[in-house]
Amino acid sequence: MKKNNELCNFDGYVPHEFIKDHFPYEKPRNLQLETTSKIYDAIEDGYKYIFLEAASGFGKSAIAITLSDIYSSGKTYILTTTHQLASQYLEEFEEYDLKKVEPRSNFPCLTKRNGSYCAIGSCKWSKCKYHPESRRYNGRYTCNFISQLEDGLNSSTVITTYSYFLSENFYSNGEFDEKYSNDFPKRNLVICDEGHNIDDKIAERVKLTVSFNDLKDLGINIKKELRELEYSDDYDFLLQKIRTKYRKELERKKPGSPSYVKTFMKLNKINKFLEHIGINKNNIAYSEDETAINFYPVITSNFAEESLFNAGNVFLFMSSSFFDYSSFANDLGIEKDEIYILRVPNIFDLSKNPVKIYKKYNMDYKNLSEYAEPSLEIIKEILDKHPNEKGIIHTVSTECMEYIKKNLNNSRLICHTTANRKEILDQFKNSNEPKVLVSPSMNEGVDLPGDLCRFQIIYKLPYYALSERVKLRSKTYKSGEDWYDYKMLTKLIQTYGRGIRFEGDYCKTYILDNRILGIIEKDLQGDELIPKYFIESMEVEKDK
Ligand code: SF4
């Protein structure tokens, strides 16, 4: 195997002729062909992990489709962060053998009269009469979930979300009995779109949830247990206790009965979680919501094999920025030397895609009440500079979204809730007026080419909410503050790319939060992990 850093250079490289025969566009750019061809070489050279870093709009999804077509006999999974992104792939590449697969929770289960879904995957073990492989199947009604799953698995490329894929791989029960096995058999290639998210995605999907109702049934008073753990934070101890209760409960049940299987599944989840957490008891982060308690791994490396790597032979992670490759590899439990890293040079005209930074306001939550009102003036000014163009205001929080909408009182502004996000986004896209979408959640997975977005305002830097896991995770990096900043920058660079979707596209970005200046300065004097093109695109507001 060649050394990964030798393979990053495009100078004098001639792509394989056959690559363009698989490309979805008639006239791909040379750099796209070279990039795809280099990834092909890396796969043929035996690399198992490939990281592709290229700016948003470079055409990474076209590269994913080309590779899945080249390796169609070995079959591919493409993983996306949202269903919306998966659907975008289907629309854009409809002539390819590409099928989307959705989880059980998106289909009403025909065995349930109230239309709810099959929460424990009972189709796997009882093969219900709506399952074509069941002996009781009468051919009249087929479960929609099973139909689309089988359709997908018969196609050369399955596209699905990280959420379904990771939890299905990790928590299926195939080792107990084949009939419980995973919905996703191993394929040759797994492509992780927006791959920089993988650490968070794994933590979210392997998290162990125990409902308050289950705790009550087991006779556990969670408030009392937590009081006792107040100083030790020994969540491993609490989990061991829950596990013992489940074991006793299982002993009381009739083997093979539906209630036995349900308890078995719950116990098996705890066993798997504890087995992967290992001996480091500090590796558990705890949270509570309205109905349940949750346990997350702080470091996900022990979980990557079973939730992701068992599902394929080769993994392509695509992103517009990975920042610290060593730390990223560490999160996945792999060595940096095992990775082929391909950083694609910028192809966009930065003068048409500038990032203007305003110096006055630090939009940290502590200062927001002071700066919220004066910052409205700047937003007004920016809207006036783009009277006939569509744009977005990224707010990070719902409160800021509502504040801007209420206090700016401008008929161009439109907002959404969690429930109507897709509907409002469609309205925004289809409108002929120069609407401005104000949103806390359009940083990623939204494609707004051409006139759909000519300017965007970043009201506040998109820092992660400080959950228990985020706090503990940041402490495992060489500097917690740097980890927190780089995570934010990953989102910021994704945000920058929302309106630059193809060569020649343009979109002006305004950052109102001056904290960005200190972060860039620190990076330039230290690790220099921020992509050069992003720094070069910046203009700082002149002193007045
Ligand atoms: S196969 Fe049967 S049990 Fe499974 S989701 Fe479909 S209808 Fe429900």
Give the tens place of pLDDT for each residue, 168-212. Answer: 999 886 555 555 567 899 999 999 999 998 999 999 999 999 999
| Separation of CA 140 and ligand 1 centre (Å) | 14
Q: What is the pLDDT of residue 331?
A: 86
Query: Is 146 close to ligand 1, i.e. is its CB under 6 Å away?
Result: yes
Of 46-55, 125-134, 171-180, 427-436, the range with the lowest mean pLDDT is 171-180
* Closest CA relative to residue 184, chosen from 46, 75, 300: 75
pLDDT at 70 over 60: yes
Segment 109-119 mean pLDDT? 81
Confidence of residue 100 (pLDDT cuts 50, 70, 90): very high
Query: Is 131 close to ligand 1, i.e. is its CB under 6 Å away?
Result: yes
Confidence of residue 126 (pLDDT cuts 50, 70, 90): low
Q: What is the pLDDT of residue 210?
A: 95
At residue 439, what are phi and psi to the nearest 5 degrees? -150, 145
* Closest CA relative to residue 446, chosen from 421, 463, 472, 466: 421
Ligand 1, atom 6, lies closest to the CA of: 143
Q: What is the pLDDT of residue 120?
A: 62
Higher-confidence residue of 494 and 477: namely 494
> Please, what is the end-to-end C-alpha distance for the chain in angstroms?
57
Contact predicate 19/36, CB 8 Å: yes
Confidence of residue 3 (pLDDT cuts 50, 70, 90): very low
Confidence of residue 371 (pLDDT cuts 50, 70, 90): confident
Query: Is 149 close to ligand 1, i.e. is its CB under 6 Å away?
Result: no
User: What distances in angstroms separate CA 526 from CA 142, 292, 485, 530, 540, one per listed residue?
Assistant: 59, 42, 13, 11, 21
Pairing label, strands 292-297, 339-343? unpaired
**Ligand 1 atom at minimal distance to the Cα of residue 124:** 4
CA angle 63, 68, 74 (to 5 degrees): 155
Q: If you average pLDDT over every residue of the chain, what do you get?
A: 89
CA 197/CA 303 separation, integer angstroms: 15
Q: How many CB atoms lie within 10 A of CB 19?
A: 22
Q: With 0-12 CB in 10 A as exposed, 13-18 as middle and 19+ as buried, what is 521?
A: exposed
Q: What is the pLDDT of residue 5?
A: 47
Q: What is the pLDDT of residue 182?
A: 79
CA 371/CA 454 separation, integer angstroms: 26
pLDDT over 90 percentage in the chain? 59
Q: What is the pLDDT of residue 173?
A: 60
Higher-confidence residue of 498 and 232: namely 498
Contact predicate 254/285, CB 8 Å: no
pLDDT at 504 over 50: yes
Of 7-11, 322-326, 454-458, the range with the lowest mean pLDDT is 7-11
Spell out the alpha helix ranges (H) of 45-157: 60-70, 83-92, 122-126, 144-153
Cα 497 versus chain centre, distance: 16
pLDDT at 101 over 90: yes
| Separation of CA 137 and ligand 1 centre (Å) | 12
| Separation of CA 149 and ligand 1 centre (Å) | 12
Of 292-296, 323-327, 427-431, the range with the lowest mean pLDDT is 323-327
Confidence of residue 7 (pLDDT cuts 50, 70, 90): very low
Contacts of 319 (CB under 8 A, 6+ apart): 51, 52, 53, 194, 195, 196, 490
Burial 318-338 (b: 16+ CB within 10 A, else e): bbbbbbbbebbbbbbebeeee
pTM to 2 decimal places = 0.90
Query: Is 110 close to ligand 1, i.e. is its CB under 6 Å away?
Result: yes
Helix axes 235-252, 258-277, angle to 10 degrees: 150
Of 134-138, 313-317, 357-361, 540-544, the range with the lowest mean pLDDT is 540-544
187 DSSP β-pair partners: 312
| Separation of CA 110 and ligand 1 centre (Å) | 6
Higher-confidence residue of 326 and 149: namely 149
CA 303/CA 156 separation, integer angstroms: 27
Mutate to test the pocket of ligand 1, among 128, 180, 183 (most ligand atoms within 8 A of CB): 128
pLDDT at 117 over 90: no
* Closest CA relative to residue 305, chosen from 292, 315, 319: 315
Can you give the length of the chain in residues?
Answer: 544
Q: What is the pLDDT of residue 544?
A: 60
Q: What is the pLDDT of residue 1?
A: 46
Query: Is 109 close to ligand 1, i.e. is its CB under 6 Å away?
Result: yes
| Separation of CA 206 and ligand 1 centre (Å) | 23
Of 19-23, 256-260, 393-397, the range with the lowest mean pLDDT is 256-260
In 3-state terms, what secondary structure has residue 120?
coil
CA 328/CA 295 separation, integer angstroms: 22
Domains of the chain: 209-297 (no CATH), 350-540 (3.40.50.300)
